[in-house]
Chain A
Amino acid sequence: MSYFKITLIRSGIGMTKRQNGVLASLGLRKRMQTVYHRVSPDVAGKIMKVKELVAVSERERAESRAEIHKRRQPPCGFVVEA
């Protein structure tokens, strides 16, 4: 039960149609987006096709989109007192 954490570090603009197709299949739409996929040979193959564009690490738990958004959101900076 392990996941690849894949982050798009380099944009797909100007890359080949094949590479952009792989990014689309991984679900990476914009730069610095992070997705989680189960570790498997086909996902590993997709990563190898776009390995120059992504940063990958292995995690036990996958984060949901809401969790990623909450983690990346900056602190609000104030508290309503009255």
Chain B
Amino acid sequence: MLPPSRLLFRPLASAAVRPATQHILRPAAAFGTSSVFRQQQQQQLPNTPTTSAIQPATPTTTTTTTTTTATTTTTPAPLSHETLKLLPLLLSQPQHYITIHIHAFPFLVTAGDTVTLPFRLKGVTPGQTLRLTHASVLGSRDYTLKGAPYLDERLFRCHATVVAETAEPMRVKEKTKRRQRKIKKVKSKHVYTVLRIKEVVVRNPFVEGAVEQVDAL
């Protein structure tokens, strides 16, 4: 039996890495006047990498691409030609997993998983449906799509339901010192939010009639 071919998509160039501009500048000769270094810094403003055009599915010249940044205001950059070529292969597979990020904590999940978060998720109540917006890896048995640092939102859809807010058993920490009879007891009983992943959908919106592969609970 042939081993599964693991084709890794080329990671999209990260535009989120900020150049290390922190260094000691010599103060200007007269404080308060315009600084030579400030003028230099203004010329070195970071480039805004995003473009609005979406790459068509037909082969064109390969372009270097940039990623979607973490801020939601910027428009996502176009995907590379290689990514678009391999996306239908990822969609054709039956099962998918996704690494979602909640407050930057990663969770690798599939449809039907019950996730107990290691904290209480604020602003949600049991019964609500959440749409997860940040994911870094979307994969199947033979293919992996990696974002840098996050994936384009158009490529996936992931919904989860808030099942419950459950508490751990009460634990008591005894604080004392040697040869000291006094014992201080500190109680802890943290609350954790439980989510159930309802669906993991891989999408290909760059094709005629956007194609989806739905893994639902």
Contacts and interface: CB of A to CB of B under 8 A. Distances in A.
Contacts of B63: none
Given A55-B22, A56-B22, A81 B130 contact: yes
Interface residues of B, number: 31
Interface string B107-142: 000000000000000011000111111100000000
B22 A82 contact: no
Nearest to A1: B32
B79 to A, nearest CB: 21
B22 A77 contact: no
B188 interface: no
Given A2-B35, A39-B31, A79-B131, A55 B70 contact: no
B25 interface: yes
Contacts of B24: 47, 51, 54-56
B27 interface: yes
Interface string A15-39: 0000000000000000000000001
A58 B100 contact: no
B21 interface: yes
A75 B31 contact: no
Contacts of A82: 128-129
A80 interface: yes
A74 B72 CA distance: 12
B181 interface: no
A55 to B, nearest CB: 3
Contact of B102 (A9, A41, A60, A78): A78
Interface of B: 21-25, 27-28, 31-32, 35, 37-38, 41, 70, 72, 100-104, 123-124, 128-134, 159-160
29 contacts: A2-B32, A2-B35, A2-B38, A5-B22, A39-B27, A39-B28, A39-B32, A39-B35, A54-B24, A55-B22, A55-B23, A55-B24, A56-B23, A56-B24, A58-B38, A60-B38, A74-B70, A74-B101, A76-B103, A77-B101, A77-B104, A78-B131, A78-B133, A78-B160, A79-B131, A80-B124, A81-B129, A81-B131, A81-B159
> What are the nearest 5 A-B pairs in CB distance?
A55-B22, A74-B104, A77-B134, A78-B130, A77-B102
Given A57-B21, A77-B132, 14 more contacts: A1-B32, A2-B32, A39-B32, A40-B31, A44-B31, A47-B24, A54-B24, A57-B41, A75-B134, A77-B103, A78-B130, A78-B133, A79-B130, A79-B133
